[in-house]
């Protein structure tokens, strides 16, 4: 009787987890596509998406392949999972590139603080320009791979569908983050909350950054880097789980 109860509760638990994943992906999509999307929302979104992948991995690791929604009994199912494996590599590369860009940006901000302490206005402007170049460089990987990885496919199972939707969400979030990065240092003509312009020095320097704001920006770059690293680890775990499933059905 107890065994029957456990078996009966499994589909219910699976459906509940899938519903939660769907709901969270919808909420994330609304945040990312909102015109008022901010860098703070991007920080939060990276961690939330990492949690979504953790939930998907939990479903995949259920004892029954039927419960996991990844039966590879048909060629179509196997092809869908193998395609997801290929696309996961592209996504992992994108996430890794974002981590590297954020690490460079954080270093750039730290160096900018050092030259400001020395009062070197010319070097400060050079560092600001370096930050902008690095921020724009972070957008380049998406121009080459986004259309390919987003290629639509009819999912053969609910799990493949969830993986596909999470993948598209990850791309949108990383791409949105890359577009927000250059705006973190604004010119004096576009001063905003994140503008690092000191009006006291506008006559002598186009961009002079205030130490307190730079410290906040360095923390933000660190938070983004941590969020991207968390998502990267989750993507690796998902790929390992997919590989295990494919190997299990190869025998």
pLDDT tens sequence across 103-116: 999 999 999 888 88
For residue 220, pLDDT beyond 80 = yes
Spatial separation of the C-alpha atoms in residues 248 and 145, rounded to whole Å: 30
Query: Between 187 and 60, where is the model more confident?
Result: 60
pLDDT level of residue 246 (50, 70, 90 thresholds) = confident
What is the average pLDDT value for the chain, to the nearest integer? Answer: 78
* Highest mean pLDDT pick, 70-74, 80-84, 200-204, 233-237: 233-237
Please give the C-alpha separations between residue 50 and each of 96, 146, 147, 232, in angstroms, as whole numbers: 14, 20, 22, 8
pLDDT level of residue 189 (50, 70, 90 thresholds) = very low
Query: Between 48 and 4, where is the model more confident?
Result: 48
Write the pLDDT tens digit of every residue in 123-163: 888 888 899 899 999 999 888 765 555 544 554 577 888 89
Spatial separation of the C-alpha atoms in residues 110 and 214, rounded to whole Å: 8
Query: Between 144 and 2, where is the model more confident?
Result: 144
Give the global pTM. 0.80
225 Cβ contact partners less than 8 Å away, ≥ 6 residues apart: 99, 102, 103, 106
The 10 Å Cβ neighbour count of residue 200 is: 10
pLDDT level of residue 94 (50, 70, 90 thresholds) = very high
- Nearest CA-CA partner of 237 in 163, 178, 148: 163
The residue count of the chain comes to 251
The 10 Å Cβ neighbour count of residue 182 is: 17
Averaged pLDDT, 198-220: 64
* Highest mean pLDDT pick, 32-36, 74-78, 131-135, 188-192: 131-135
C-beta of residue 241 within 8 angstroms of C-beta of residue 61: yes
pLDDT of residue 199: 45
């Amino acid at each position: 009787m107890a065994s029957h109860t456990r078996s009966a509760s499994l589909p219910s638990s699976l459906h509940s987890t899938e519903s939660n994943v769907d709901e969270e992906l919808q909420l994330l999509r609304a945040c990312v596509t909102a015109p008022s999307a901010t860098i703070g929302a991007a920080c939060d979104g990276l961690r939330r998406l990492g949690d979504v992948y953790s939930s998907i991995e939990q479903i995949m690791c259920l004892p029954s392949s039927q419960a996991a929604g990844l039966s590879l009994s048909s060629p179509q199912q196997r092809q869908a999972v193998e395609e997801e494996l290929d696309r996961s590599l592209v996504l992992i590369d994108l996430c890794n590139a974002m981590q590297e860009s954020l690490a460079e940006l954080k270093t750039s901000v730290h160096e900018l603080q050092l030259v400001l302490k020395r009062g070197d206005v010319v070097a400060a402007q050079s560092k600001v320009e370096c930050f902008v170049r690095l921020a724009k460089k972070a957008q380049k990987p998406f121009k080459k791979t986004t259309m390919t990885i987003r290629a639509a496919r009819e999912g053969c199972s609910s799990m493949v569908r969830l993986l596909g939707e999470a993948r598209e969400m990850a791309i949108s979030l990383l791409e949105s983050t890359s577009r927000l990065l250059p705006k973190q240092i604004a010119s004096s003509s576009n001063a905003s909350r994140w503008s690092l312009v000191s009006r006291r020095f506008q006559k002598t320097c186009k961009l002079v950054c205030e130490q307190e704001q730079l410290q906040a920006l360095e923390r933000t770059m660190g938070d983004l880097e941590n969020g991207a690293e968390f998502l990267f680890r989750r993507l690796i775990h998902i790929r390992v789980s997919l590989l295990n499933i494919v190997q299990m059905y190869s025998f």
